[in-house]
Structure 1
Amino acid sequence: MKTHRATRPRLLLAAFAAGGLLLATACEGDKEPAQDQAASAPSSAATTAAAAAPTATPTPTPTVKPTGADDPALKPFYGQQITWAACPPDAKAAEQKIDLSLMKCGKLHVPLDYANPAGEAIDLALIKNPAAKQDQRLGSLMVNPGGPGGSGVEMVKSFDKQFEGTLHNRFDIVGWDPRGTGESSPVACLDDKQRDALNAEDGPLDPAAAKALSDKHAADFAAACQARSGKLLPFIGTRNTARDLDVLRAAVGDRKLNYLGISYGTYIGAVYAEEFPKNTGRLVLDGAVDPAAAELDLQVNQVIGFEKSFERFAVDCVKNNAAECPLGKSADKAAKKAADFLDGLRDKPLPTKDGRKVGSNLGWSAVIQFLYGDEKEAWQALRFTLAEAMLGGQGNALLAVADQGNGRDEKGHYSPEQEALRAIRCADNATPAPSAEAAQQAVQKLQREAPLLAKSITVEDVSEGSCVGWPFTSPETPHTIRAEGAAPILVVGTTGDPATPYTWSEKMAQGFAGATLLTRVGEGHGAFGSGNGCIDAAYAAYLTEGTLPAAGTKCS
């Protein structure tokens, strides 16, 4: 939600997408930045619409449910044989020294519209890292890194080290690019130059001018998506992704689904359990969202989550890392000092080696990316990056991380993640704008609990529906997912998670008919790959043996 007068809250609020996009580095043990696009300050025109949410009590979505494998029209899809072959060369994987020699790639054929299986179909990109111990193989473990917009194919490649051990020994690790993302009929809207311009834009401070520009960006983006991807947009929501996942389960020969979903990937898993409860095996939902919460509440709480993480980072910088901290000697003033510097980039942008300038929007985008990581390596990298910027007057590191978060490669090309993020969000939620009272309460809460990120926030910033002007209307609404009849589910939450606050994991777990909540005490987004032995052991015991941790278990 790029903005203008209230840059940071808009940047975060409009960027919200059921927990955000987790890139392939998100849950690695080193917790590199650029981990979740939803709060990464995505700055395509998609992010310019003001945040909004329903105020009425959510009710279950009245969708027509295809009958899955029992539907004769769907049997050809469920019965297909995937042709697995060597994965094509990947320069990024080669640069990261990822061994793809044992991995296999393929395609899954699925209907564009499940209500009309005889109509047009699309192919989804797949990857499989076969079980290391085939004689002990239990089946497949489907994985999704989050988003909407994250690539499951890239997750399997980049997470190869994190899956080593029990999980990879016993399972084929299988990732897919959900429809509308990656190599699976990706949503296309803007070109690279348009994305560059929007990412670099700080916009006017005048509220009326800011509102007018924001409205124009939103309208232009919706029109561009309609022109380039209009046929796809009504069919890329999470419910159809869950249906694709059931087809994939059957096509790889698994009777039950074993699944690891992170961030927004937890919503995919929850919708799958609602849609196909009898097909659930062992589902791990890590960094969960609350599917019943009003969108505005989720957005506001995410902004507050990043504010608290930013404050904790600043205090840690001054108190525990004084020699390398550029934020002064006062722990109480450190966060504001950093925020003032980042705000000041609007008028005094930093130079970079490629000739672009780092203004306030790009600067904050980078900082938000770092906050997805933990208090060890990610916070250390943020200290060094701020020192380069604040003391050295250079924006190279900030720009590199902002680019990574925005999906921009070194050649200036953008991935489809940000555009898929908004398109899937709008396919998942057709809720109206909040009431004037709800908007006012949201602003008051932000001003009270996130004064740095929500500086100068106004009611106008949150008064419109985030999908106003979108080309189609979705039937989906927020609701509690019970998943009656599903196998026991493991929900995992991290106490210091800024992108999907811990309370969301609590509420998702409480909503299910049968779920156990596992708690990781620490910083960063998601528990998988955090290097926490207690978490790793709990995952392995549940996924391989079906043994859930005791209620109330906390891994510190």
Structure 2
Amino acid sequence: MPNPSRLRAAALTTAVLLSSVLAGCGDGGKDDEDLTAQKLSWEDCPAPSAAEGGGAAPSPLPNGGDWQCATMKAPLDWSDPKGDTIDLALIRAKASGDESKRIGSLIFNFGGPGGSGVTTLPAFGEDYAALRTRYDLVSFDPRGVGRSAPVECESDQQLDAYFQQDATPDDSAERTKLLDNTRQFNAACEKNSKRILPHVRTTDAARDLDLMREVLGDDKLYYFGISYGTELGGVYAHLFPKNVGRAVFDAVVDPTQNPEQGSLGQAKGFQLALDNFAEDCTSKEELCPVGDSPQDVKDRIAQLLKDLDRKPIPGIFPRQLTQTAATNGIAQALYSKEFWQYLTEGLQEAYDGDGRILMSLSDSMNGRNDNGEYSNIAAANVSINCADDRPRYNADYVERKLPEFRAASPLFGDFLAWGMVSCTDWAVPGAADHPDVSAPGSAPILVVGNTGDPATPYEGARRMVEALGKGVGVELTYKGQGHGSYDSKNKCVQGAVNGYLLNGKVPAAGTVCT
């Protein structure tokens, strides 16, 4: 089932969900027109679709200016560019500064895979005000996501049951049920989205990016990728190295790892984040309400999960907080230090028999809003990952690997190990063991790693730099907490990123921000 091992969501996407029709595959017709010559029709943005998560249309920017939306046609199948097309949803805020100093469009991908850029960018547009002085800020729903030919799998009612299931089986009966539920989910994706499933690979999205660059009128791609967005950016740089202008990768996916290695790395990353949370809570002058020492905090959480496995507690009516939902909610809160207060409150209430806060955190990870409706982030996440990743892991293989995962994280090990079965029996074969991001001839790419990142561990930044190739990747280290660095508002990080994107000033390789 989808969980943090597959859901490489950016912290920004997470926060959108916390604060909380379906578009088809275009007209499906033939389009003999050169797609690079299409003209976008920018209009006021509608309210987000159900697949984007619902809600209200984006509010005007605080310092003036409205968000505008458009659709861009792209080939359904990039191996047949003159064939059927799909519509990709775009959003922009036009540059606020002197038109004569405008550089072009800065395209954002906030991660997932499966996150809607159309809903995420306006929620955090103010954070990028400095970049907007010289760029149009642009984001999009990648193919299979939101309004862009969204993958559809199970219904809201089915997803409620799916996310309540026991994702860490303790016996053969629980194991069989988990595998049956996974097959049922995957079969629903094939039944409801058979047409789009073969065409949601990251290489397809990278080709969409290059088409977007041309349609927006830029000679080079100016790009800001976060979390999975760094993988998409790396694949783009590999396919189109000469078209890279200025690019920033933040919260970096390790491009050298296969899914198993990535899941194991996340087990270590989330355990580190939990250790840091426990240390922070118990190091303050006031008493930590969820434990007397770092180890006591972790022991009490482990006992809570063990108790929930035996007997769930009331969550958001009529659902109950299960062991799986609680684990998912804890992981969600570890994405950002700003969410640690919610984790503390959620644990306090759960110890008293009230699971609502932890369930709300889990719901945000899964894309469920207060009305009980799900975005398609989980469906898109599984679909893109399974189309990208060649390995297929069965239950016997996972059980052999459990000791290694438990050693990496007593709390998250089982959860992340069993997440590896999500692509078993998937309808579309995976493309590769890991993405190719080698980009000889590309312009410099600023690669920002956070030492306390749980979801994309810090080591991935160095490996991305090495994989991009000599003279391309430039590493910047942020000694902080949470998923991502720029959104931490650290002045050193933002100064380095803004200096590069706005003025082309490449920071010295190995720069460290604290």
8 Å contact 1:189–1:224 — kept in the other structure? Answer: yes
Measured at CA, do residues 434 and 170 of structure 1 come closer, stay the same or move farther in structure 2, by a change above 3 Å?
same
**Alpha-carbon separation, structure 2, partners of 1:494 and 1:191:** 37
SS at match of 1:345: helix
Measured at CA, do residues 357 and 475 of structure 1 come closer, stay the same or move farther in structure 2, by a change above 3 Å?
closer
1:505 and 2:493 correspond: no
Corresponding residue to 1:295 among 252, 259, 273: 259
Q: How does 1:257-406 map to 2 (within 5 A)?
A: 257-320=221-284, 322-323=286-287, 325-352=288-315, 354-374=317-337, 377-390=338-351, 392-406=352-366
Q: Which residue of 1 aligns with 2:51?
A: none
Superimposed CA distance per residue, residues 495-517 of structure 1 (whole angstroms, 9 cap, x where no aligned partner): 00000000011101111121100
**Alpha-carbon separation, structure 1, partners of 2:72 and 2:415:** 48
SS at match of 1:326: coil
Corresponding residue to 1:160 among 122, 125, 128: 125
What is the identity, as a one-letter code, of the residue corresponding to 2:346? T
**Alpha-carbon separation, structure 2, partners of 1:152 and 1:336:** 38
Measured at CA, do residues 206 and 510 of structure 1 come closer, stay the same or move farther in structure 2, by a change above 3 Å?
closer
SS at match of 1:320: coil
**Alpha-carbon separation, structure 1, partners of 2:388 and 2:376:** 18
Give the TM-score taking structure 1 as reference length: 0.83
1:430 and 2:390 correspond: yes
Superimposed CA distance per residue, residues 9-41 of structure 1 (whole angstroms, 9 cap, x where no aligned partner): xx444xx25xx0226455xxxx78859xxxxxx
Displacement of 1:454 in angstroms is 2.4
**Alpha-carbon separation, structure 2, partners of 1:222 and 1:457:** 18
SS at match of 1:141: strand
1:476 and 2:432 correspond: yes
Superimposed CA distance per residue, residues 218-242 of structure 1 (whole angstroms, 9 cap, x where no aligned partner): 2212211111000110001100000
Displacement of 1:472 in angstroms is 1.9
Q: Which residue of 2 aligns with 1:536?
A: 494
1:196 and 2:153 correspond: no
Q: Which has the higher contact order (CA 8 A, sep 6+)?
A: 1
Measured at CA, do residues 346 and 248 of structure 1 come closer, stay the same or move farther in structure 2, by a change above 3 Å?
same
Displacement of 1:465 in angstroms is 6.0
**Alpha-carbon separation, structure 2, partners of 1:179 and 1:356:** 32
Structure 1 window deviating more from structure 2 (217-226 vs 473-482): it is 473-482
Measured at CA, do residues 426 and 370 of structure 1 come closer, stay the same or move farther in structure 2, by a change above 3 Å?
same
What is the identity, as a one-letter code, of the residue corresponding to 1:142? I
8 Å contact 2:113–2:380 — kept in the other structure? Answer: yes
**Alpha-carbon separation, structure 2, partners of 1:101 and 1:354:** 41
Q: Give ranges in structure 2 of 5+ residues lacking alignment.
A: 20-30, 49-53
Q: Give ranges in structure 1 of 5+ residues lacking alignment.
A: 3-10, 36-72
Q: Which residue of 2 aligns with 1:417?
A: 377
SS at match of 1:92: coil
What is the identity, as a one-letter code, of the residue corresponding to 1:118? K
Corresponding residue to 2:104 among 113, 136, 139: 139
Displacement of 1:206 in angstroms is 4.2
Q: Which residue of 2 aligns with 1:445?
A: 404
**Alpha-carbon separation, structure 2, partners of 1:410 and 1:281:** 41
Taking only aligned residues, the RMSD between alpha carbons, in angstroms, comes to: 2.7
**Alpha-carbon separation, structure 2, partners of 1:208 and 1:342:** 20
Q: How does 1:63-82 map to 2 (within 5 A)?
A: 76-82=34-40
8 Å contact 2:105–2:137 — kept in the other structure? Answer: yes
Q: Which residue of 2 aligns with 1:488?
A: 444
SS at match of 1:494: strand
SS at match of 2:330: helix
Displacement of 1:367 in angstroms is 1.0
Structure 1 window deviating more from structure 2 (503-512 vs 355-364): it is 355-364
8 Å contact 2:59–2:66 — kept in the other structure? Answer: no
SS at match of 1:529: helix
Measured at CA, do residues 219 and 133 of structure 1 come closer, stay the same or move farther in structure 2, by a change above 3 Å?
same
Displacement of 1:327 in angstroms is 2.3
What is the identity, as a one-letter code, of the residue corresponding to 1:290? D
**Alpha-carbon separation, structure 1, partners of 2:393 and 2:55:** 42
**Alpha-carbon separation, structure 1, partners of 2:512 and 2:387:** 36
**Alpha-carbon separation, structure 1, partners of 2:32 and 2:505:** 34
Tell me the number of residue pairs that the alignment of Structure 1 and Structure 2 aligns: 494
Corresponding residue to 1:151 among 85, 97, 116: 116
**Alpha-carbon separation, structure 2, partners of 1:403 and 1:438:** 26
8 Å contact 1:33–1:378 — kept in the other structure? Answer: no
Structure 1 window deviating more from structure 2 (516-525 vs 154-163): it is 154-163
**Alpha-carbon separation, structure 2, partners of 1:408 and 1:246:** 32
Displacement of 1:432 in angstroms is 4.4
SS at match of 2:9: coil
8 Å contact 2:11–2:336 — kept in the other structure? Answer: no
**Alpha-carbon separation, structure 1, partners of 2:260 and 2:481:** 24
1:175 and 2:133 correspond: no
Superimposed CA distance per residue, residues 476-528 of structure 1 (whole angstroms, 9 cap, x where no aligned partner): 33255221111111111000000000001110111112110011101100112
**Alpha-carbon separation, structure 1, partners of 2:398 and 2:82:** 44
SS at match of 1:259: strand
Percent identity of paired positions between Structure 1 and Structure 2: 36
Measured at CA, do residues 466 and 397 of structure 1 come closer, stay the same or move farther in structure 2, by a change above 3 Å?
closer
Give the TM-score taking structure 2 as reference length: 0.90
Measured at CA, do residues 34 and 395 of structure 1 come closer, stay the same or move farther in structure 2, by a change above 3 Å?
same
Q: Which residue of 1 aligns with 2:476?
A: 518
